[in-house]
Structure 1
Amino acid sequence: LHTSIAFAQLEECPSDGISYLPHPDCTRYIICVNGEATDAECPRPLYYNPRTEHCEFPENVPECVGGTRPPVFNGTTTELTSTTSETHPPTEEPTLEPSTTETPPPNTLTECGQTIQTDSGYIQYKLNQNYSAGELCAFIIRLDRYTGCDFTLEETGVFNSSSDTITVFRISEQEQALPLVKLDRHSPIAYFLYSTFAVVFKTTSNAGTGFRLRFESRNTLSTKIPGTMLVYNNQTSTPLRFPLNPNGGSEWDAIIITSGAKLITNPESTLQLMVYDFFVNPDCNSWFNVHSFDGTTAKFEGRVCGLNKKALAFNTKGLFIVLFYKSSISTEDYLGSIEWFETTTNITSQN
């Protein structure tokens, strides 16, 4: 079992299925997927509520004081109290210099690998800060109730849009080729149908600063297949098994995989994805779709759905977008798995 440390208590990730654990920082929580722990963050200014397993306004999470969750001992939340009656004279508050960093608005993603489910919000990455060459920073957005989304690049310090790009992908259940658009100061607006999107910031220079991208739905109600959005920027220690929720019905998951949120520049190295095909019925009612993006070109690598009955290897210098779909008629609790790692082995991608 993999563990996450929450003050004095070690909380274990269950080895099967999906679960959510509280984090000492009330704005964060732990997503456990088949024993693998991934750190996630609530949209600002929300706190994670372990009673409802949702991000909520701070007044609904009264145990969080100043954004910190109190220690947990033997399943009981312990309030922190002073053990002495010593008093001290009031301390003069320091004079703060004005901050040069703009506070992000609510529902804002600010770090590589974050995901969000909401109908409007922002991605604000290194705004007014210099970025580094070789970044490959991915985010996933899933609209909560609606379908159809407007994207507006409100601010950008990216001047060389040929080398440093902001790419928005539309992700849907059935499409093999993922429609995409690149946003820059000359073309800052785009609209996409459907409700799940990946945003990827790729840099090959360090001659600029970050950006703020606003997204907003058009308030068209939509029914969605339940699923999970995850971004992994590290190597997997054990294969990730699907379906992620073995006791559920239909499932649709979007997984992005990178090598440390960076492009691989070593000519002898690649990010390798292994897909293990254990689909019982080779009728492709349930499947994996594998896409790669090297920062410039997006490629549909192939669909895995019971026709191979073996492990398939895919390679990229950039990232993978893996989509898993489980049909409601599939009753198996194991259909396949994936694992990934950076390798120097020269293996030709499967198609």
Structure 2
Amino acid sequence: DHFNLDLPTAAIQAETVADEECPEEGISHLPQPDCTRYIVCIYGQRNHMVCPGSLYYNPVTSNCEFQENVPECVGGTRPPVINGTTSTFSDISTTALPTDVPTSTTTVPPNTITQCGHTIQQDSGFIEYKLYQSYEAGELCAFIIRLDKYTGCDFTLETHGISDTKLDTITIFQVLDEQATFPSVKFETIGSTVNLPGSTFVVVFKTETNLGTGFRLRFESSEKLIEKTPGVPLVFNNHTENPLRFPLHPNAAAKAEWDPIVITSGSKLITETKSSLRLQVYDYFVSPGCRSWFSIHSFDGTNTKFEGRVCGLNGGKTVLAFNTRGLFIVVFYKNDNTVEKYLGSLEWLKTSTI
């Protein structure tokens, strides 16, 4: 769907809103007095997030967790916090917005991500998720791997305790610029190794039952050096209260930017009748010939769908809406000849109707 509308007030404010708590560089997670809420600061842009259900935000782990794991919150109120945890553009190895936290005390290898919503920018490492813990039914847990210097990657499923009968529990998508279809592979057996070209990958763990335990997946770059367009890989598992503005880097005029974004509804498949995850895209692109754009894909847990490219071709200021019961993979690209400071926004929420 698309509508030729003026942007809502919240979207317009998102272009210029600033806060002294938000650093102008890097990514920060800021707790709020209401324990169910927190702010993700992306280069000075404030993004208000809400934890699902009755979970509380834990500033120690940057996760939404069960209330008993956040003892400083009394009656849902947090005492004052001096500052959040900050990372820089050149040192983003993990950016976590998950909904639960593994409790295993086993030692994990270096360069390992362990929680839904983690991202990593390394040329080798591991995803180790609930390896010795039971997973839940209906999980849709996403990770992003972005190789640091190389292209081409070998993936090996080292071990798992998965008991779901279908062979699509672990799916890896190669995230591309121009193609309408993302190449993907699915893992079936321990020790199996597959190769995907490219340098950015989304790994999705999907469950139907709660009868098994998790996995450890190793990745290692396998081919040649490549120069990459700067960008920020992000996974959002929680509802945002204000649109996410692009480009993410406000001081990158005449510089290219390439951001892979994954959006889920609490790292879960949506099973309720007439409910869906809705993504609204605010199209303010002015670049001729689609030189800058959003590319939007959805994954319902079984099938992927190319929803379309948003780049100003509809004319005027347009709002487009997309729905899925699974997750969205969005790529934002800004051409290095683009000088506009605002090209569009993303906003998402779980809705009660499709």
Instruction: Tell me, in whole angstroms, the C-alpha distance in 1 between the residues paired with 2:174 and 2:231.
Output: 16
When the two structures are aligned, how many residues end up with a matched partner?
284
Q: Deviations over 1:45-67 (max 9, x none)?
A: xxx886997379xxxxxxxxxxx
2:56 aligned with 1:19: no
Indicate if the aligned counterparts of 2:167 and 2:187 stay in contact, CA closer than 8 A.
Answer: no
Match of 1:255 in 2: 261
Indicate if the aligned counterparts of 2:282 and 2:319 stay in contact, CA closer than 8 A.
Answer: yes
Match of 2:328 in 1: 320
Structure (1/2) with the larger strand percentage: 1
**Aligned residue type for 1:225:** T
**Aligned residue type for 1:339:** E
Match of 2:177 in 1: 173
Q: Deviations over 1:234-278 (max 9, x none)?
A: 011110111111321100000000000001010110000000111
TM-score with structure 2 setting the length: 0.73
Instruction: Tell me, in whole angstroms, the C-alpha distance in 2 between the residues paired with 1:49 and 1:274.
Output: 28
2:302 aligned with 1:296: yes
Match of 1:68 in 2: none
Offset at 1:320?
Answer: 0.3
| Identity %, equivalent residues | 55
Using a 3 Å threshold, how does the CA distance of structure 1 residues 244 and 214 change in structure 2: closer, same or farther? Answer: same
Indicate if the aligned counterparts of 1:154 and 1:213 stay in contact, CA closer than 8 A.
Answer: yes
Indicate if the aligned counterparts of 2:164 and 2:208 stay in contact, CA closer than 8 A.
Answer: no
Aligned with residue 306 of structure 1, among 312, 315, 336: 312
What RMSD in Å do the two structures reach over aligned CA positions? 2.9
Instruction: Tell me, in whole angstroms, the C-alpha distance in 2 between the residues paired with 1:342 and 1:19.
Output: 28
* Higher Cα Rg, which structure: 1
2:339 aligned with 1:331: yes
Using a 3 Å threshold, how does the CA distance of structure 1 residues 18 and 318 change in structure 2: closer, same or farther? Answer: farther
Helix, strand or coil at the partner of 1:331 = coil
Indicate if the aligned counterparts of 1:164 and 1:204 stay in contact, CA closer than 8 A.
Answer: no
Instruction: Tell me, in whole angstroms, the C-alpha distance in 2 between the residues paired with 1:212 and 1:162.
Output: 18
Offset at 1:319?
Answer: 0.3
**Aligned residue type for 2:245:** R
Instruction: Tell me, in whole angstroms, the C-alpha distance in 1 between the residues paired with 2:136 and 2:143.
Output: 18
Indicate if the aligned counterparts of 1:146 and 1:195 stay in contact, CA closer than 8 A.
Answer: yes
Indicate if the aligned counterparts of 1:136 and 1:201 stay in contact, CA closer than 8 A.
Answer: yes
Using a 3 Å threshold, how does the CA distance of structure 1 residues 294 and 100 change in structure 2: closer, same or farther? Answer: closer
Match of 2:114 in 1: 110
Stretches of structure 1 lacking an aligned partner (at least 5 in a row): 1-9, 25-29, 43-47, 57-98, 347-351
| More moved, 246-255 vs 186-195 | 186-195
Q: Deviations over 1:45-92 (max 9, x none)?
A: xxx886997379xxxxxxxxxxxxxxxxxxxxxxxxxxxxxxxxxxxx
Instruction: Tell me, in whole angstroms, the C-alpha distance in 1 between the residues paired with 2:150 and 2:195.
Output: 14
Match of 2:56 in 1: none
Match of 2:139 in 1: 135
Offset at 1:13?
Answer: 1.7
Instruction: Tell me, in whole angstroms, the C-alpha distance in 2 between the residues paired with 1:190 and 1:174.
Output: 23
**Aligned residue type for 2:47:** E
Indicate if the aligned counterparts of 2:296 and 2:328 stay in contact, CA closer than 8 A.
Answer: yes
Instruction: Tell me, in whole angstroms, the C-alpha distance in 2 between the residues paired with 1:211 and 1:11.
Output: 41
2:35 aligned with 1:35: no
Instruction: Tell me, in whole angstroms, the C-alpha distance in 2 between the residues paired with 1:136 and 1:182.
Output: 15
Using a 3 Å threshold, how does the CA distance of structure 1 residues 151 and 258 change in structure 2: closer, same or farther? Answer: same
Offset at 1:188?
Answer: 2.6
**Aligned residue type for 1:103:** T
Indicate if the aligned counterparts of 1:13 and 1:19 stay in contact, CA closer than 8 A.
Answer: no
Instruction: Tell me, in whole angstroms, the C-alpha distance in 2 between the residues paired with 1:148 and 1:171.
Output: 12
Helix, strand or coil at the partner of 2:240 = coil
Instruction: Tell me, in whole angstroms, the C-alpha distance in 1 between the residues paired with 2:61 and 2:105.
Output: 20
Q: Deviations over 1:129-177 (max 9, x none)?
A: 1101010000000011111100000001113341760000001222221
Using a 3 Å threshold, how does the CA distance of structure 1 residues 227 and 191 change in structure 2: closer, same or farther? Answer: same
Instruction: Tell me, in whole angstroms, the C-alpha distance in 2 between the residues paired with 1:51 and 1:330.
Output: 24
Instruction: Tell me, in whole angstroms, the C-alpha distance in 1 between the residues paired with 2:118 and 2:312.
Output: 32
Helix, strand or coil at the partner of 2:159 = strand
Helix, strand or coil at the partner of 2:26 = strand
TM-score with structure 1 setting the length: 0.74
Using a 3 Å threshold, how does the CA distance of structure 1 residues 173 and 266 change in structure 2: closer, same or farther? Answer: same
Instruction: Tell me, in whole angstroms, the C-alpha distance in 1 between the residues paired with 2:158 and 2:190.
Output: 12
2:292 aligned with 1:281: no
Using a 3 Å threshold, how does the CA distance of structure 1 residues 117 and 11 change in structure 2: closer, same or farther? Answer: farther
Using a 3 Å threshold, how does the CA distance of structure 1 residues 299 and 13 change in structure 2: closer, same or farther? Answer: same
**Aligned residue type for 1:333:** K
**Aligned residue type for 2:348:** W
Larger relative contact order (CA 8 Å, sep ≥ 6): 2
Instruction: Tell me, in whole angstroms, the C-alpha distance in 2 between the residues paired with 1:52 and 1:178.
Output: 26
